[in-house]
């Protein structure tokens, strides 16, 4: 094992894939500056690490074209909300081309989309749009929450034959963790049980996983055993792991830093309500952000997102009801 930050693990995965597969190329704004060091840039060459103009529709479109002709581009966005400027390219071209060409064309494209929130970045830069893009059939959606998962999932994303949006939670970018030194990849579409428990299932996404683990430790002191599931990939969604856990614990709390309307939290709750209803001993609880634009004020913004305290309170109330 070696110690890496979340961001370092992602870059490490990309560089290793570039060394092993000459088809992997990197494009995006200022990627030469912040993705690799000078030695790595020299090793991999300027033809495979390309700075682009500030035109998301242009360079994502170029990445789609490169993927159609046999390359495996990794597109770097400075912020996930910049996806909106390339909505037609992402949702109409990348997501639909394989289907519309009758399976004759693959789009092995990865879009790195840092998610910036709880950092006073104001409304234009602070969305958490994994649920929005999950509604575009043809895209795979990945949201890792620690360095080891980030590296393993990035490797799988690059090797996949479909377009993958790789959402990176900027709030944990500098979090350090152990990363295997051996070659490994984590399959897309499998959730991870971060903590085993028997009293309540808490399914969480992105930075909400870390708040949930903190809450689970506090609940343990109160005699409540929480099972924490890191959703990890939104599309495809690992419904089976969550349903199996709820069948054991009989309770479900869903934690998602995105707004609640039409969210991943809503999909998880609907899945259990439809397929695991008779396992439940209390109503499902969703802990999400409110359906409002993110304010610039740090004090106001901090109050929007799931916290360990909110999760503990929700679980206490659930236990009292049941």
Q: Kindly report, residue by residue over 221-263, the tens digit of the pLDDT.
A: 999 999 999 999 999 999 999 999 999 999 999 999 999 999 9
Token look-up 């997501």 returns 95
Strands (DSSP E) along 49-109, which ranges?
Answer: 49-51, 72-76
In the predicted model, is pLDDT for residue 282 greater than 90? yes
pLDDT of 198 higher than 80: yes
207: CB partners within 8 A, 6+ apart:
117, 118, 145, 169, 171, 172, 257, 305
- The Cα-based distances of 185 to 17, 179, 302 in angstroms read 11, 11, 34
pLDDT at 246: 98
CATH domain 2-179 topology: Rossmann fold (3.40.50)
For the residues 304-316, what does the mean pLDDT come to?
96
- Mean pLDDT on 272-292: 97
Global confidence as pTM: 0.95
Query: 317 pLDDT band (50/70/90 cuts)?
Result: very high
Are 2-179 and 192-321 in the same CATH fold? Answer: yes
CATH level 2 (architecture), domain 192-321: 3-Layer(aba) Sandwich (3.40)
DSSP string covering 267-311: HHHHHHHHHSGGG-SS--EEEEE-SSPPPS-HHHHHTTS--HHHH
- Concerning whether 251 is annotated as a catalytic residue, the answer is no
Residue the block writes with tokens 């929450």: 145
Lookup result for tokens 């479900």: 252
For the chain, give every domain's residue range. 2-179, 192-321
What is the CA 194 to chain-centroid distance, rounded? 16
pLDDT at 321: 83
What mean pLDDT is predicted for residues 70-90?
A: 96
In this prediction, residue 95 has a pLDDT band, given cuts at 50, 70 and 90, of very high
Percent of the chain with pLDDT over 90: 89
pLDDT band at residue 322 using 50, 70 and 90 as cut-offs: confident
Residue in 125, 210, 251, 275 annotated catalytic = 125
- pLDDT tens digit string along 8-65? 999 999 999 999 999 999 999 888 766 666 677 777 877 888 999 999 999 999 999 9
């Amino acid at each position: 094992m070696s110690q890496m930050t979340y961001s370092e693990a992602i870059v490490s995965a990309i560089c290793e894939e570039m060394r092993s597969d000459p088809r992997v190329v990197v494009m995006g704004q200022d990627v030469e500056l912040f993705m690799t060091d000078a030695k790595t840039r020299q090793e991999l060459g300027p033809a495979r690490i390309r700075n682009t103009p500030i035109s998301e529709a242009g360079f994502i479109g170029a990445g789609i074209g490169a993927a159609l002709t046999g390359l495996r581009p990794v597109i770097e966005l400075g912020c996930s909300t910049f996806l909106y400027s390339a909505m037609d390219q992402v949702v109409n071209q990348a997501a639909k081309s394989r289907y519309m060409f009758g399976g004759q064309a693959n789009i092995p494209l990865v879009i790195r989309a840092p998610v910036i929130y709880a950092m006073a970045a104001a409304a234009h830069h602070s969305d958490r749009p994994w649920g929005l893009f999950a509604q575009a059939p043809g895209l795979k959606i990945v949201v890792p929450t620690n360095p080891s998962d980030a590296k393993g999932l990035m490797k799988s994303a690059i090797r996949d034959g479909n377009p993958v949006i790789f959402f990176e939670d900027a709030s944990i970018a500098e979090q350090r963790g152990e990363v295997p030194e051996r070659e490994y990849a984590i399959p897309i579409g499998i959730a991870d049980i971060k903590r085993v428990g028997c009293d309540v299932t808490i399914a969480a996404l992105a930075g909400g996983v870390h708040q949930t683990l903190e809450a689970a430790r506090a609940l343990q002191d109160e005699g409540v055993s929480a099972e924490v599931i890191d959703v990890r990939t939104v599309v495809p969604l690992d419904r089976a792991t969550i349903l199996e856990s709820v069948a054991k614990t009989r309770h479900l709390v869903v934690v998602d830093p995105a707004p609640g309307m039409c969210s991943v939290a809503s999909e998880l709750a609907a899945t259990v309500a439809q397929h695991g209803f008779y396992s439940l001993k209390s109503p499902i609880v969703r802990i999400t952000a409110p359906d409002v634009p993110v304010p610039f004020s740090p004090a106001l913004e901090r109050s929007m997102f799931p916290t360990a305290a909110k999760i503990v309170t929700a679980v206490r109330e659930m236990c009292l009801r049941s």
